[in-house]
Structure 1
């Protein structure tokens, strides 16, 4: 006779949830992120099952003082999807996350790395492969997962065809600095794995961060790409297409504004006959 335990209920629920997400065409990285948060909640309350855990436990878990608002938002999004699935499939009568307030996240500020940091990152890269990783982030705006999975079939006629989040396909013109690196191979992954497939995106991220001095990441390269391309073209829709964002508001948060641009904007105000201040009469 099979004994049902809290652990087995969690495992069965998470397995079914994973299949549900996979059937909807969710990317593997998205599925892993969501199941990771569900497992984190499960570890927090080992004596509860996915059927019995309540809103109070979940809100206590989310109230972790060490978590930034964006982390809480990510965690809540993942478990809300999980419990919505359990409710829709009849595994739970009520969704415990329906009583929780949405997490307010302060407006994100663009985080492009300085030009000098990018130059140093390229110089510190010890291999051609590592230089290529950095250049793909800076000159094509690729995410770490997109860099890891880059295949020779993605490059043709001086264009890159990239399948990004939500399986959205975008086309990126190849910058001249990237062309010689892209033409080093004629078939297969540009960053092949040890035995098969391609290198893990975490490996890519660690190599890039190390070469950038440990302070900046692949995402800072992507912000640099967004900021620099917008400074040249002044067309946010173009930048949105290059980055593969579904919402232009997201693109806005990637574009940094430097002091020179702010100064030019103020100095461009219409000149008016403003009198100079007069010294106080003695």
Structure 2
């Protein structure tokens, strides 16, 4: 959709600066989308945007936390560029980006991958392998070209075109290299060509994988699966970071799930040896016991109040006992 003409020069100038910095076309498209939405939502030129009007408009947007964080970062960059070019006031200084939401690793389980492979055609099966066994993003999978498969002294590698035009090398087996080359040589050099002569778009490939994988498992959970399995080999987070193409180890830690055995051993290692675990012994003979929505409420002989919570069946049984005339109650 078009933007107001009063924003044309500012947006064009800013986009040119992004191209000059070497940002990828997908990143620039995302940035343009954020600023275009803002331009259509504010009834003024970019030089006239005030902190108050910007905050008011942002407050009305029903964004997810991740979207809001992304938008605030983009707005900050756009208005900083505008300030440097024209001297216009930067209205974004008071915008505080929400912290990134905590994310637990969500690796696709082996059963889900096996189920998908049983019914997948060869093209989809290859996509699954690239995500699950090499950790490639969906946007990296569709960019695979025969020129990216190279032979090094130590063996074949796949040159991966990552986010922000960053490239990395992922070692692959000779057998897999030959299979990839065969796929790339079928049409025009792309492993996953489109009908237009280039490669599939990330959106199309993501939809293909989401349809192939059962339940809510997606292409990105295949990448989590790779991170988890790769980390389990040597517990080397730096190696996994490099293979995934992450700029920060902190990001990698949200992808690799620690093995359960390691968690159990860690807890066991912190035990107190032969020291017995503490036990709580309560004496509530003769105390008034009542049933509340929260559980069984009573006062012990030392005057301390307690509320014990049980499941519904147990709580009902206990209530029957404490309200009966039986001596053992």
CA contact (8 A) 1:112 1:221 kept: yes
Question: Of Structure 1 and Structure 2, which has the larger fraction of its residues in strand?
Answer: 2
Shift of 1:205: 0.8
1:216 is paired with a residue whose SS is coil
Gaps of at least 5 residues in structure 1 are 1-5
State the number of aligned residues. Answer: 273
- Tell me which residue corresponds to 2:292: none
- 2:295 is matched with which residue? none
Query: Given that residues 131 and 222 in structure 2 are in contact (C-alpha distance below 8 angstroms), is that contact kept between their aligned partners in structure 1?
Result: yes
**Counterpart selection for 1:87 from 75, 80, 83:** 83
How far 1:79 sits from its partner (Å)?
1.6
Q: Do 1:140 and 1:175's aligned partners in 2 also have CA atoms closer than 8 Å?
A: no
| CA 148–278 in structure 1, closer or farther in 2 if over 3 Å, else same | closer
Contact 1:55 1:97 in 2 (8 A): yes
Which runs of structure 2 are paired with 1:124-139 in the superposition (5 Å)? 124-125=119-120, 127-139=121-133
TM-score, normalised to structure 2's length?
0.75
- Change in CA separation of 1:70 and 1:274 when aligned onto 2, cut-off 3 Å: same
CA root-mean-square deviation: 2.5
- Flag the 1:202–1:121 CA change in 2: closer, same or farther, 3 A: same
Structure 2: how far apart are the matches of 1:31 and 1:198? 19
CA positional deviation for 1:99: 2.1
Structure with bigger RCO (C-alpha 8 Å, 6+ apart): 1
CA-CA distance at 1:271 after TM superposition: 6.3
Tell whether the 8 Å contact from 1:132 to 1:178 is kept in structure 2 after alignment.
no
Task: Specify which of 91, 97, 110 is matched with residue 92 of structure 2.
Answer: 97
Change (3 A) 1:62 1:109: farther
Unaligned runs of 5+ in 2: 282-329
Q: Choose which of 146, 154, 157 in structure 1 pairs with 2:140.
A: 146
Structure showing greater radius of gyration is 2
